[in-house]
Structure 1
Amino acid sequence: MLAAGDGATLAGLSAAETGGLRGHADDKIHLLLPAERRPTGLGPDVVVHRSTRLDAADVLTNGRPPRTRMARSIIDAAQWARSDDQARIVIAACFQQRLVALRSVEAVLDRLCRARRRQLILQTARDAAGGAHSLAEINLTRLCDAHGLPEPARQLVRRDAAGRRRYLDAYWEQWRIHVEVDGGQHFDPQHAWADMQRQNDLWIAGDRVLRFPAWALRQAPASVAAQLRAALKAAGWRP
């Protein structure tokens, strides 16, 4: 920051991590500078970005080093991400960890009319604010919309037989259908046993339970949608 000179601000994932984002550290230091600045000798671990639109409202100056506020940080991180999926993951994680509000993201995007991935960022933020806290859950929401299926409630809290709080990935309450999206952690034996107990509790209570691996929502969406449609229709849904 000192080498970059006046006007340099910690930004993107570097600023988000400094602001409290966990689990998404970058091995680079991201700096945002005024467009006309051309510092040299910053080293290979520093990535310099430039912007003509860095409002005072976007910068947190009461800490050291100065950094962009969380909404601007994750928007920039999403713009600079290597893929659309990586952009979505960062945004979803920030909402999951309760570090940002939707209105703050929308306010920054209103000022950044030419932001890269602007529509993707806005839609992902709205999905995440609505309870879809992982990329898989966001993909499920989009799958339902694309295939004309009713939208589920997300991250619904239920009590299991032992009285413990359980979060349902997606739930259609009217038809009592629950979908669990399994990431890699679900294949750990201890985690798998906990999943089985939760699924058994749901079956005992009379719910239908469908499970899909996270990759299937991206690679085989038509197959997932077909099974969802069949389950909903079997439970009484009429398109």
Structure 2
Amino acid sequence: MPGFSCHPGGLIPRSDPERAAWETAVWLDPLRAVAIIDSLLGQGLTDRGALAAMADHNADRPGGRRARWLFDLADGGAQSPPESHLRVRLILGGLPRPVVQHPIRLPTGVVLHPDLAWPEYRVAVEYDGQWHSDADQLHRDRRRLNLLVGAGWLVLHVTSRRLHGEFPAVLREVRAALASRGWRR
């Protein structure tokens, strides 16, 4: 039977990715919802067209505008829920939408992809989760930082502690970095 799966207790409804995205957008807090929708997009389980169709189909239902808003905030390039949370919080804080995993080709031919970037201002933000404290990862991160700075980029790093406990300061720092490179509200 389509839309149902077998369960020892009988048939239970099964959701498709678009329905799951809809329910997530309508019922969860925006940060969690966007992180889940980012993941659905990133895994190729749905796409922007299918989400737009779901939003159109349900536009008049309660939560319709909210779901469309969250679908528009989603980006399948995010590589982790904290990166999604950081991106959404920066946007909700009044900053322009960053590009996720923007490719930066260096003169050597190496291509780097910072977590968040504003290419027109040459500002990037990297989210440093717990795995970044590993000595080998720290070495790779600092090498990347040096390459990006050498190519004229201003790079800020945000840790989990700062994302959750010092976000107003993070927002001020990113805003100041963008302003120093010509962004005007």
The TM-score bracket by the shorter chain reads 0.7 to 0.9
Letter in 2 for 1:225: L
In 2, Cα distance between equivalents of 1:73 and 1:174: 35
In structure 1, distance between residues paired with 2:61 and 2:81: 24
Query: Which deviations, in whole Å up to 9, do the C-alpha atoms of 1:74-116 show, x marking residues without a partner?
Result: 434x27987655433321111112221112122223334546x
Show the counterpart of 2:41.
95
* TM-score using structure 2 length: 0.74
Superposed displacement of residue 174, structure 1: 2.7
Deviation by residue 1:173-196 (Cα, 9 ceiling, x = unmatched): 232211111223322333222211
Q: Which stretches in structure 2 are left out of the alignment for 5+ residues?
A: none
How large is the Cα RMSD of the aligned pairs?
3.5
Counterpart of 1:56?
none
Distance 2:25 2:182 in 1: 43
CA deviation string 1:191-237 (max 9, x = no partner): 22221111110111121110012453344331111111222233333
Q: Gaps (5+ residues) in structure 1?
A: 1-5, 11-28, 32-40, 50-66
More helix as a share of residues = 2
Q: Secondary structure at the match of 1:156?
A: coil
Matched, 1:42 2:42: no
Residue-pair matches, total:
184
Q: CA deviation at 1:161?
A: 7.0
**C-alpha distance in structure 2 between counterparts of 1:189 and 1:121, whole Å:** 41
1:212 aligns with 2:179: no
SS of 1:175 mapped into structure 2: coil
1:140 to 86, 99, 122: 86
Distance 1:86 1:146, change over 3 A: closer
CA contact (8 A) 2:38 2:77 kept: no
Q: CA deviation at 1:121?
A: 4.1
- 1:9 match: 4
| Paired-residue identity, % | 27
SS at match of 2:113: strand
Distance in 1 separating the partners of 2:87 and 2:144: 22
User: Max radius of gyration: which structure?
Assistant: 1
The structure showing larger relative contact order (alpha-carbon pairs under 8 Å, at least 6 residues apart) is 2
Task: Give the match's secondary structure for 2:56.
Answer: helix
Aligned residue type for 1:75: W
SS of the equivalent of 1:87 reads helix
CA contact (8 A) 2:41 2:47 kept: yes
Query: Partners in 1 of 2:88 and 2:31 — Cα distance?
Result: 13
Residue aligning to 1:200 = 146
Residue type at the aligned position of 2:43: Q
Please tell me the residue identity of whatever aligns with 2:72.
Answer: R
